[in-house]
Amino acid sequence: MATITIDRTACKRDGFCVATCPFVVLTTDADGYPIASPESEKHCINCGHCVAVCPTAALQHANLPPSDFLPAQPGQATPGALDALIRNRRSIRKFKRTPLTQATLDDIFQVARYAPTAKNMNHIAWHVTRTYEATRHLAGLTADWISQVGYLPIAVEAFNAGGDLVLHGAPHVAYCVSPMNDLMPWTDGAIAATMVDLIATARGIGTCWAGIFMKAAGAHAPLQQALRLPEGTGVVGALMLGLPAERFRRTPPHIGQADVTWID
């Protein structure tokens, strides 16, 4: 069965779908209608751009139900609002223990589905602890790894004293998991986590990247078992999440200037 079908009664032969396809899946036939072949459809990455660009909804994609296409809303985030979100995002290291509601968590990860991935593979899966206790358990396994490798001994001391320099007492840690033989797993993970960071910040939720935890997840077998990672996958991004228990009144500078080399 064809992946892309064209309703010739609706098609205006404007060529937008042919022009937008990133992998030349669509070409134009002798009458000016778009066509795809079983051979060319093998290159389709399911980006949906051909359907999304058509002014008359003349295309259907077998893998992308029409009802899943939302009306485009260009210009919703003004440059000023987005700039302020990026500047005012801070790494939060003091959290309230109360977990976020399931509806809030669902909302964040539904929006994060729109993060781009290399070749539109969409293989990023999120795992999220739902309680403070579950999160602290993973912080403890990370502290065990720290004590084995001798990195940051103060984190082990802090953990043993009831504190937490690893996941900072957050009620949630969200880590994203990718098949490690994907095209660009680390990049996909960094983008996905950055999206979650901004989506959560826009909702008043505190976040902090969990780099130490990520390092331990790549090296410490007991933690890897607790993370329930499917065979061949790894943790490619991780964030603490929770209601912030600290408030910043100023935006600190990031040292240095924007480092840009202009090429002519």
CB of 210 to ligand FMN, least distance (A): 5
Angle subtended at Cα 141 by Cα 184 and Cα 139, rounded to the nearest 5 degrees: 80
Question: Using CB atoms, what's the residue nearest to ligand FMN?
Answer: 211
Contact yes or no for 40/27 (Cβ under 8 A): yes
Q: How far is CA 34 from the centre of its chain?
A: 33
**Cβ 230 to ligand FMN shortest distance, Å:** 23
Helical residues (DSSP H) of 29-170, grouped into ranges: 38-41, 49-53, 79-88, 102-112, 132-149, 153-160
Among 90, 94, 97, 123, binds ligand FMN (CB under 6 A): 90
Q: Applying CB under 6 A, does 208 fall inside the site for ligand FMN?
A: yes
Confirm or reject binding of residue 37 to ligand FMN (CB under 6 A): no
The one among 91, 110, 120, 148 contacting ligand FMN by CB under 6 A: 91
Residue type, 33: Y
Instruction: Measure the CA–CA gap between 188 and 177, rounded to whole angstroms.
Output: 10
Does residue 222 bind ligand FMN (CB under 6 A)? Answer: no
Tell me how far, at minimum, the Cβ of 205 lies from ligand FMN, in Å: 14
DSSP string, 59-99: EEETTB-GGGPPPP-TT-S-HHHHHHHHHH--B---B-SSP
CB 195 within 8 A of CB 151: no
Report the site for ligand FMN in 47-66 (rule: CB under 6 A). none
Binding mask 149-188 for ligand FMN (x = CB under 6 A): ----------------------------------------
Closer Cβ to ligand FMN, 141 or 212, answer by number: 212
What is the three-class DSSP state of 125? strand
What span, in angstroms and rounded, lies between the C-alpha atoms of 123 and 119? Answer: 10
Q: Is 209 in the site for ligand FMN (CB under 6 A)?
A: yes
Nearer to ligand FMN, 54 or 216 (CB): 216
The smaller minimum CB distance to ligand FMN, of residues 53 and 158, is found at: 158
Are 141 and 213 in contact by the 8 Å Cβ rule? The answer is: no
Is 93 a binder of ligand FMN (CB under 6 A)?
yes
Contact, 225 vs 147, CB < 8 A?
no
Shorter beta-carbon distance to ligand FMN: residue 26 or 235: 235
Tell me whether residue 109 or residue 209 sits nearer to ligand FMN (CB atom). Answer: 209
- The single residue among 32, 211, 222, 232 that binds ligand FMN, judged by CB under 6 A, is 211
Which member of 128, 212, 235, 241 binds ligand FMN (CB under 6 A)? 212
Q: Could you tell me the smallest distance in angstroms from the CB atom of residue 30 to ligand FMN?
A: 53
Separation CA 196–CA 205 (nearest Å): 10
Binding site residues, ligand FMN, CB under 6 A: 90-91, 93, 208-212
